[in-house]
């Protein structure tokens, strides 16, 4: 066992966290209001505390010290001394062992106990009381890491936005029930990087996998007491630490290996990150890290009532990104994942929180300014979830250039359109065109719209066509959680059915919605499992279901219906890749003409005539046709897409230009190959609840 000196050397405040330099370890932790910070060291065998030091120096609000001869693998934690004055926002309690905000590895998960609360949990004085019991027996220890890893020739794929197809997936849910030859540990990064998973992504044409939170998170105590857990992971404990539950052998290198394998296959990895709140909850929550180090700085407090935390997240607390040190922690964390794990991009959960200054949401906030000017982060894919529960929380279309945004307007409109709701044609047209009505400003491109049809939060696509309402009884919240309005329809029977007519109709609507997603301008995002009809049995809020409700049932991929859907999705992605007009790099408004008398986009009625103002407002709407034309190199790509959400087949006249027409896709006949139309053909049948896609090669006189 290492022999420790009596005191620490001064060290440096330059790098926050614990860093090994080959001769010892420097410790540095920020706290503007602490009066003393102690470093506690622990025996790796029995977890008992074996040494304690005062951090000897305090420079620019950073406590720091240096332990000579110490090496990676050392276990440590902090204790912070200062006023316990909740009324004024201070909650220092040195009896509580604290995690380093910059820790890069923990020894294990939280073991919940009353001792982790800074106050007496059942005291009539609530959080004004003070708890003197030591929380160390129930806390994980921080582990000093050496991040050295041999990346060899790893190169970020840097897939262009217009060719990006995203799959949103949960590491455990994606891989838990997938059989693989080399037997990687199911539910871990090992399985994520397995050959079978990469082959499946390639088969679909997915270029980018967006992972639900993989930063270390903690399940809420109340969920565990109800026999549930936080499955999704939107409850971060440590911003620099890979979640231990996804590591087969405990080494962060397992994530690096998975990223490296995915990169070698040309697939990007995007992380869903949660920097809007932490797992410490409200002022009545536990003291695990940030609260104990400097509650008044790390969190936003209610002005004039600093005992209470602002709750713009719905999770009890809101990180104070207006403070430069808190903002620094977030940026340092992002750069750490980008540099040390080669992550290709980030999806920011509840992103308006990150841009909300004390006066409200600001596209020019410190967070956005810092990200956009950063030489590392500005080169990654940046995706915002543009809503939160706070004041002015819906901000779709208001994020700065450089950010893409999840488009819930696309989701809701597509569902309503194909459900047959009235007056949806104008809204559907705007979404197909990349939502330029909301995003085409400041030089933004169509890729700024992340077109979503389904996500982890809500119904799967199979459930959208199988359930009229949510069925969340397994969550033990009396069925009141989750979205009440899903714009879904069961088409005759609530839940599973063996009626061939109902199954046929559901399949038609399902494929039509999927085609709308993949063939619209913007960046399509597929929910993992939708490609083979995954169901959650009507649960639209499976955040606490770490079980068969949420884990993908890969046996469905082997059924005839699952195989048809998988091939259909792959075909849609291939069509999108092959036709530039389906993945425009600039917004189309009908003002640019790739050919004489041929605008880049046009909207048509069933008789082939352009849509007029009166048709956009028709309540008894039946058919929407959109022709798009795009130049690439010296050739023009022209596609014509017709959408029929009604219950009857429609004969539609083809608009110009004259040329050779090819039927590329009929969603009601997913296995039909591309078919050249008769040269004399002037119309096409658009089946009920169906979408057809055609292309035309102009006659020689019209070609460029």
What is the rounded CA–CA span in Å between residue 107 and residue 141?
A: 5
What is the rounded CA–CA span in Å between residue 72 and residue 78?
A: 17
Q: Could you identify the residue written with the tokens 């606490």? A: 544
**Structure-block tokens of residue 276:** 């809007």
In three-state secondary structure terms, 300 is: coil
Task: Residue 74: count other Cβ atoms within 10 Å of its Cβ.
Answer: 20
> Pick from 80, 99, 78: which is nearest to 32 by CA?
80
**Structure-block tokens of residue 66:** 């240096």
- Tell me whether residue 240 is exposed, middle or buried, using C-beta atoms within 10 angstroms of its C-beta: 0 to 12, 13 to 18, 19 or more: buried
Cα-based distances in Å from 443 to 399, 533, 628: 12, 38, 21
The secondary structure element, H or E, covering residue 463 is: helix 461-464
Q: Which of 312, 385, 412, 463 is catalytic?
A: 385
Task: Residue 249: count other Cβ atoms within 10 Å of its Cβ.
Answer: 9
What is the rounded CA–CA span in Å between residue 554 and residue 214?
A: 22
**Structure-block tokens of residue 427:** 């809204």
What is the rounded CA–CA span in Å between residue 198 and residue 196?
A: 5
What is the rounded CA–CA span in Å between residue 489 and residue 486?
A: 9
- DSSP letter string over 477-506? STT--S-S------TTSSS----HHHHHHH
Q: Could you identify the residue written with the tokens 């995002």? A: 525
Q: Strand 635-644 to strand 650-653: parallel, antiparallel, or no bridges (unpaired)?
A: unpaired
In three-state secondary structure terms, 572 is: helix
Cα-based distances in Å from 218 to 212, 235, 458: 14, 6, 22
Q: Which of 349, 388, 531, 666 is catalytic?
A: 349
What is the rounded CA–CA span in Å between residue 282 and residue 278?
A: 10
- Tell me whether residue 7 is exposed, middle or buried, using C-beta atoms within 10 angstroms of its C-beta: 0 to 12, 13 to 18, 19 or more: exposed
Helix/strand/coil (H, E, C) string of 320-385?
Answer: CCCCHHHHHHHHHHHHHHHHHCCCCEEEECCHHHHCEECCEECCCCHHHHHHHHCCCHHHCEEEEC
* Contact assessment for residue 349 and residue 274, using Cβ atoms and an 8 Å cutoff: yes
What is the rounded CA–CA span in Å between residue 659 and residue 464?
A: 39
Active site residue 127: no
Torsions phi, psi for 692 (to 5 deg): -120, 145
Active site residue 463: no
Which residues carry out catalysis? 349, 385
């Amino acid at each position: 066992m290492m022999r420790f000196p009596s005191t620490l050397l001064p060290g440096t405040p330059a790098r926050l966290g614990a860093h090994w330099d080959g001769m010892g370890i420097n410790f540095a932790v920020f706290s503007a209001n602490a009066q003393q910070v102690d470093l506690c060291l622990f025996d790796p065998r029995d977890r008992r505390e074996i040494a304690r030091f005062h951090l000897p120096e305090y420079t620019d609000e950073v406590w720091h010290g240096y332990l000579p001869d110490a090496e990676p693998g050392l276990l440590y934690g902090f204790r912070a001394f200062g006023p316990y004055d909740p009324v004024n926002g201070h909650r220092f309690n040195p009896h509580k062992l604290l995690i380093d905000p910059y820790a890069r590895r923990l020894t294990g998960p939280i073991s919940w106990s009353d001792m982790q609360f800074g106050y007496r949990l059942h005291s009539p004085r609530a959080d004004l009381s003070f708890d003197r019991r030591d929380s160390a027996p129930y806390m994980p220890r921080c582990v000093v890491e050496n991040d050295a890893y041999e990346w060899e020739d790893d190169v970020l794929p840097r897939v262009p936005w217009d060719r990006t197809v995203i799959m949103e997936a949960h590491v455990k849910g994606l891989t838990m029930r997938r059989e693989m030859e080399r037997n990687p540990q199911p539910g871990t990064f090992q399985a994520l990087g397995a050959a079978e998973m990469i082959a499946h992504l390639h088969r679909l044409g997915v270029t980018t996998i967006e992972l639900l939170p993989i930063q270390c998170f903690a399940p809420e105590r109340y969920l565990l007491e109800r026999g549930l857990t936080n499955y999704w992971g939107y409850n971060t404990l440590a911003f620099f630490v890979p979640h231990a539950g996804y590591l087969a052998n405990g080494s962060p290198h397992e994530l690096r290996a998975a990223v490296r394998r995915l990169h070698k296959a040309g697939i990007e990895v995007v992380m869903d990150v949660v920097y809007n709140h932490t797992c410490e909850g409200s002022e009545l929550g536990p003291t695990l890290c940030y609260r104990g180090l400097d509650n008044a700085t790390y969190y936003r407090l209610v002005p004039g009532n600093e005992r209470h935390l602002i709750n713009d997240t719905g999770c009890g607390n809101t990180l104070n990104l207006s403070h430069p040190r808190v903002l620094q922690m977030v940026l340092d964390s992002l750069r750490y994942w980008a540099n040390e794990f080669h992550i290709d991009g980030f999806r920011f959960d509840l992103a308006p929180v990150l841009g909300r200054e004390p006066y409200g949401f600001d596209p020019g906030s410190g967070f956005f300014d810092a990200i956009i000017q950063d030489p590392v982060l500005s080169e990654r894919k940046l995706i915002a979830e543009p809503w939160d529960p706070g004041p002015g929380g819906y901000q779709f279309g208001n994020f700065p250039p450089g950010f893409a945004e999840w488009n819930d307007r696309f989701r809701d409109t597509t569902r309503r359109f194909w459900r047959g709701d009235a007056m949806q044609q104008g809204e559907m047209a705007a979404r197909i065109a990349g939502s330029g009505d909301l995003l085409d400003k400041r030089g933004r491109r169509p890729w700024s719209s992340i077109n979503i049809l389904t996500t982890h939060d809500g119904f799967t696509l199979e459930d959208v066509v199988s359930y009229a309402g949510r069925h969340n009884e397994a969550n033990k919240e009396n069925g009141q959680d989750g979205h009440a309005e899903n714009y879904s329809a069961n088409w005759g029977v609530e839940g599973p059915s063996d009626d061939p007519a109902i199954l046929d109709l559901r399949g038609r609507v399902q494929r039509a919605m999927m085609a709308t997603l993949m063939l619209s301008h913007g960046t399509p995002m597929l929910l993992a499992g939708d490609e083979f009809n995954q169901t959650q049995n009507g649960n639209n809020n499976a955040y606490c279901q770490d079980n068969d409700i949420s884990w993908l049932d890969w046996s469905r991929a082997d059924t005839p219906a699952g195989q048809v859907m998988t091939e259909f999705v792959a075909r849609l992605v291939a069509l999108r890749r092959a036709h530039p007009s389906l993945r425009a790099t600039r917004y189309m408004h009908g003002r640019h003409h790739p050919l004489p008398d041929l605008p880049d986009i046009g909207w048509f009625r069933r008789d082939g005539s352009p849509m007029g103002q009166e048709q956009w407002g028709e309540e008894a709407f039946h058919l929407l046709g959109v022709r798009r034309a795009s130049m690439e190199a010296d050739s023009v790509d022209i596609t014509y897409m017709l959408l029929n959400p009604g219950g009857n087949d429609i004969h539609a006249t083809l608009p110009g230009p004259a040329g050779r027409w090819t039927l590329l896709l009929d969603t009601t006949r997913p296995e039909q190959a591309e078919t050249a139309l008769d040269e004399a053909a002037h119309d096409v049948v658009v089946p009920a609840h169906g979408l057809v896609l055609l292309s035309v090669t102009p006659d020689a006189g019209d070609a460029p």
